[in-house]
A and B are shown apart, each in its own frame.
Chain A
């Protein structure tokens, strides 16, 4: 089967700070990493490839250095990668990112399955996967926990808040996976020379996708970031005093007041 995995290079958010004066992310000196849930998506793809045969292509969009994540996933065992990189793509919101990715998928041609990580740690929107399915008019199954291929269909278990739903979906389809779906393998040193010799990565621009600039990037994006701020992490504790009955009564009153009970 032919599998496409979408991956994204993100700043390591554990090391990102917010400049309180400008309310913008301080990204200088912050290492870029492969988005954690995309790593699970790659592992899911590789496990399916090992079980059912076929190929896995990784697709990413970003500046030229985003090819590092393609090299990394090729070292994990992905067959090849495509980097969508063009100044025209800059500033894309989730909708236009999904639109651009959809055009790349159309250019790739026939495929059976697209696997995405649920969300990226820099935006936490979880929108691109579902939007990509929308642009490609594909059935989508989010929050995948397990997948089996049954002829033309995929049998999928998806994790919801209070239950696990079993779904049968016709291929081709798009799925998004969670971080606890599997334990991603390490990239292998055996694959490093192949991953880095440039032969397995294609670079596509806006012209390659045959999309006019007016439909791409910041200018085409209906949403924008208004402000970035750190949530108030202050702990507002209150010590209730008195005998046990009084403390219990006070606590109940306060909880009722907060509509917590």
Chain B
């Protein structure tokens, strides 16, 4: 077993860290407050390869491994969790399904532009009545000659307003429930698709999250991704990888909250000495560090298994479950350590606290992750 990072992984992390410190960190608080999409940062990230991290070079990507991917997402999230999720969603569930399941034609038409950052990708599975139970989606796709006609509403869609393509899951046969779901590559320029009002969220506020409404949206048969009826399993495969990225995002938030505590607790004096000198604070920081290290190892393990071509959905779920809950616990303690200041928007831990709560919920709630893990163990 080798815990050393490769040269490629170290350089990827360094590039992401440098970009994040200069281009994201100074603007993250204002973007959070204004709920402002980081359009200029995403454009720069695209030019530097961040939008096609694991995609082969032939399709415009960087051909980096999954450990590099999680290191990059972690670094972005340390500075701005919103930007990190835009990049992670685009890579893992916006572009990766096309690489995994797309025809050569679809890859040429869509993947190259996505991987090179010219276009932004999104993923639309969740509906008002189908969140943790994706088999019950109500959006329909009816065949009409060379097209499908999509009708329905998707909700909580990351980058819905700003994306160019969306991987949409719709039912082509409602009687078959999960086995009647088909994936489509839908261009947001197609007629009959509109983004709803931008949601005013608790955390991850700079990422735009909206409804996507399909009203007789005409999608060519050529845009079916994979075989009809296999859409749900395709979605779940993409989400398995998506979870690893979200876990890395959680790790970035947790790390950032802890770093703030280390600096603050050495600087803040009470009872004549820095509060870092009190065991109450030391124990909280020791727990943070231990849990962060454990989360990192779970994430690396899931990423490693993916690169080995081995099943990783259980480990991915474990990583997402644990890392997101570590982010929440760490951010909660971080606010506590900062006391009154921790409740102020001027202090980063306040944002970490709100972001962490969102991370525990999206890309599968903690409860859904436990369901996935238990199903695998009890099968």
B-contacting residues of A (Cβ < 8 Å)?
68, 71-72, 75, 186-190, 192-193, 195-196
Contacts and interface: CB of A to CB of B under 8 A. Distances in A.
Interface string B294-324: 0000000000000000000000000000000
8 contacts: A68-B10, A72-B11, A75-B11, A188-B48, A188-B49, A189-B12, A189-B72, A192-B62
Given A189-B64, A189-B72, A71 B11 contact: yes
B14 A72 contact: yes
B83 to A, nearest CB: 15
A192 B62 CA distance: 8
| Interface hub of A71, A188, A192 (most chain B Cβ within 10 A) | A192
Contact of A189 (B6, B10, B53): B53
Interface of B: 6-8, 10-12, 14-16, 18-19, 44, 47-50, 53, 57, 62-64, 68, 72
Contacts of A75: 11, 15
Given A192-B8, A192-B68, A186 B63 contact: no
A196 B49 contact: no
| Main SS at interface, chain A | helix
A196 B11 CA distance: 8
A196 B8 contact: yes
Given A75-B15, A186-B18, A189-B49, A196 B62 contact: no
A71 B11 CA distance: 8
Contact of B19 (A68, A186, A190): A186
Given A72-B14, A75-B15, A189 B48 contact: yes
B50 A189 contact: yes
Contacts of A68: 7, 10-11
B15 A186 contact: yes
B12 A192 contact: yes
B10 to A, nearest CB: 8
A187 B62 contact: no
Contact of B63 (A188, A193, A195): A193
B15 A71 contact: no
A87 B131 CA distance: 62
B6 A188 contact: no
Contacts of B63: 193
Given A68-B10, A189-B16, 20 more contacts: A68-B11, A71-B11, A75-B11, A186-B15, A186-B19, A186-B44, A187-B14, A187-B15, A188-B48, A188-B49, A189-B12, A189-B50, A190-B48, A192-B8, A192-B49, A192-B68, A193-B62, A193-B63, A195-B11, A196-B8
A188 B16 CA distance: 9
A193 B53 CA distance: 11
